[in-house]
Amino acid sequence: MSLKLSIWTWRQQGIKGVWIKLPIELASLVQIIVKEGFWYHHAEPNYLMLVYWIPATEHTIPANATHRVGVGAFVVNDRKEILVVQEKSGKLRGLGFWKIPTGVINQGEDLFTGVMREVKEETGIDTEFVEVLAFRQSHQSFFDKSDLFFLCMLRPLSFVIQMQESEIEAAKWMPIEEYAADPLVQKHEFAKYILNVGIAKVEKRYSGFSPVCIQSAFIDEQSYFYLNSRDLEQKSSSVNESSSS
């Protein structure tokens, strides 16, 4: 059956949205499919997804992935030194700008796993995840996608830096006071917010979000729910005390 005839049949059946998952081995068929009104939805290494909306109405096909997820690691040792790096590429290359280790979460990777991996890759430092401190949303970031950036607090488990030569120009432990006084940091609003939130956490004036493993009610799968456990425990204690009095 031809694609044109299939579309006619689907229209008679009241079908609205049509998805074609085209394996890379059949990429030569793309032109034929597009000529029938299909458009690209997304692509992966081994397939291309095309979609078509049959009714003469505005389509309700869900968009492709809208956000990329990034992480940044605020790592402070017992000497009140922060782990910072200078990158070999990107907008900050060659500016002498010290920043916290950052990176992108892989598909299927948990936040806490990804941020520890990025620190290990860039600096060789082993860490323990503590909390998500804050997050930022921005738009028109990477290939016009939006971006979610999660600032995380990590506790160092090792201290000897082994720099990733391919991506990192320099890496070191820097006293927090020295980092705070850096003129480039002072000019960078986002860096100042990162620093202020991180210092507040170090000084125990701030509480972030810790992961709690939860079981899905619908599928046999676990996920992580990030919450402010300190305030939740304090609230629960207050409720219990009120109930017993």
Which of these ranges, 63-67, 96-100, 223-227, 239-243, has the smallest mean pLDDT? 239-243
Q: 188 φ, ψ to 5°?
A: -105, 105
Asked if 121 is an active-site residue, the reply is: yes
What distance in Å separates the CA atoms of residue 112 and residue 132, rounded to the nearest whole number?
8
111 pLDDT higher than 80: yes
pLDDT on residue 11: 95
To 5 degrees, how large is the angle CA 83–CA 88–CA 89? 115
pLDDT at residue 200 is higher than 70: yes
- What residue segments make up the domains of the chain, in order of their start? 3-53, 67-202, 210-244
Catalytic residue among 121, 167, 169, 241: 121
Domain 3-53 has CATH 3.40.630.30: yes
What token pair was written down for 95?
């500016």
Residue 174 has pLDDT above 70, yes or no: yes
* CATH number of this structure's domain 67-202: 3.90.79.10
**Res 94: pLDDT:** 84
Task: Give the residue with greater pLDDT, 1 vs 162.
Answer: 162
Q: Which pLDDT score, from 0 to 100, does residue 115 have?
A: 98
pLDDT at position 143? 81
